[in-house]
Structure 1
């Protein structure tokens, strides 16, 4: 975005003005009269006003949650099995199986025919077996978006918290 001062082609710094024009307006107490022009979102085809990093709130949120601004929603899953839906949203590397689908908080979410569950829990139950009552899934690789059943272990809540703090101390 360029400076909104007449004849200036410098990059805008604050309130639509470049640094010299902003400082001048600040000295002359003219900031109340400055009208800020907001550029549209930098993503092609999006005309919403930019907020963060030159993107609108929607695209900035996608960047924060998924690492890219593309729309991650997929058409309804007609005729697909839960495993096929799962596999389409997993990027398998040599170590972790990185979840690329929807994310809530720090954990991947798998939606299938109206049911919504955490992706790592679904992975463990599908590839290993049922999670015993009263136990949580611990990511032994410390990657909360990992759905590799070899990196998932059912533990008590107390043990999960203890391991978390132990790893945190080890990193420090």
Structure 2
């Protein structure tokens, strides 16, 4: 019987299944039109990355997976071809600027954690990153970052820098306290974009 003969493909010693081909080569021919070994196509990592980015006039938002349980949303996550994952904004920085120096982080100047637009990212120390917070304060009862209301109804101010607490004084109105605490942060912080935009 012809089925007892080897496959007609040179070097293949499997038995024929149909059209002179073994099951494997016959299956390849049906699927792809060729008996050649299909090359596993691994798309370039950068291509996979950029197709998960929503480019807009403002921020370029990450459309892929995110992590973190912060109420404001987590950072974007990009799964690497090799193994593991990297935060999407850190991958964008490294792709365009090289390795992130030890002890440095990538700061979002736009305060949008899922933004990966290169112009919205910059190198910063942990301290500088902590200085560049979005306007307002999610955990403050007054709604103003660095301002607390005292029992007597007046508004106190405080700014922590390198573990040292600084005060801009106590004020009768929330507006006065807010202006004073912004001025103080602008004096002692280097990465304080939100406050600088408010007084510009």
Distance (Å, rounded) in 2 between the aligned partners of 1:163 and 1:120? 16
Q: Do the aligned partners of residues 165 and 93 (structure 1) sit closer, same or farther apart at CA in structure 2, a change above 3 Å counting?
A: closer
Q: 2:107 aligns with which of 124, 138, 142?
A: 138
User: Which runs of at least 4 in structure 1 moved beyond 4 Å after TM superposition?
Assistant: 165-168
Q: 2:67 aligns with which of 78, 92, 104?
A: 104
Does structure 2 retain, via aligned residues, the 8 Å contact 1:85–1:112?
no
Distance (Å, rounded) in 2 between the aligned partners of 1:158 and 1:166? 17
TM-score, normalised via structure 1 length: 0.50
Superposed, 1:1-172 pairs within 5 Å as 78-105=41-68, 106-113=74-81, 114-164=83-133, 168=137, 169=145, 170=195
Q: How many angstroms does 1:79 deviate by?
A: 1.6
RMSD (Å) for aligned C-alpha atoms: 2.2
TM-score, normalised via structure 2 length: 0.44
SS at match of 1:93: coil
Distance (Å, rounded) in 1 between the aligned partners of 2:125 and 2:101? 10
Query: Across the two proteins, how many residue pairs are aligned to each other?
Result: 95
Does structure 1 retain, via aligned residues, the 8 Å contact 2:111–2:134?
no
Does structure 2 retain, via aligned residues, the 8 Å contact 1:138–1:155?
yes
Q: Which runs of 5+ in 1 are unaligned?
A: 1-76
Q: Do the aligned partners of residues 167 and 161 (structure 1) sit closer, same or farther apart at CA in structure 2, a change above 3 Å counting?
A: farther
Distance (Å, rounded) in 2 between the aligned partners of 1:109 and 1:78? 23
Distance (Å, rounded) in 2 between the aligned partners of 1:132 and 1:167? 31
SS at match of 1:120: helix
Does structure 1 retain, via aligned residues, the 8 Å contact 2:104–2:124?
yes
SS at match of 2:58: coil
